[in-house]
Amino acid sequence: MWAATEWKDYELLDCSGGEKLERWGDFILVRPDPQAIWETPRKNRLWHTPNARYTRSSTGGGSWDRGNLPASWPVHYRDLTFNIKPMNFKHTGLFPEQAANWDWMREKIRNAGRPISVLNLFAYTGGATVAAASAGASVCHVDAARGMVSWAKENAAASGLADRPIRWIVDDCGKFVEREIRRGHKYDAIIMDPPSYGRGPGG
């Protein structure tokens, strides 16, 4: 298993009883996590004083008790910057465990010795896009949600990569790939992290 050990602005402080206690920059969040199935004592005092806590609703979904949490704030990983924005389905816009993959792909791109083109499908807020572009790759970023693509552009700009060769595509990933095949377009690498519960054009 790869571990993302180089974070300074993210920290998993504790997890128990279906929740995790996290530090995102200067802010402490409590969020549900179904993988935290153990019932260990919650000894960390920050469980009781988070900046925000996400609570699931019995009817589905949930909401944040935001306290003094801002609408968004930056976090940094190495030389990259990402805007964190707690959303109404518990996400923050970034999966910090993916940093291990970012490091791996950046090393591969930098050591390739030639220009590298990357297709990032289900690209979300652009963690992998920003990482690949920072290493010198040209990236085609594809996501069906316009808001996520706009957020990814913000992350690229925050990381000083607004002028890098990134194509921003709002489209269904399957249909886009079918067109790319017909057009004969090829890529050196394809990144895919499809959602577990996606809402595609077929519902």
pLDDT beyond 90 at 109: yes
pLDDT (0 to 100) of residue 178: 97
Average pLDDT, rounded, for the chain: 94
Span 73-82, mean pLDDT? 98
**What string of DSSP letters covers 62-119?**
EEEE-TT--S-EEEEETTEEEEE---TTS--S--GGGHHHHHHHHHHHHTSSS--EEE
Domains recognised in the chain with CATH numbers: 10-84 (2.60.40.1180), 97-192 (3.40.50.150)
Q: What is the pTM of this model?
A: 0.91
Give the pLDDT confidence of 85-99 residue by residue, as tens digits: 999 889 999 999 999
pLDDT (0 to 100) of residue 2: 86
pLDDT (0 to 100) of residue 170: 98
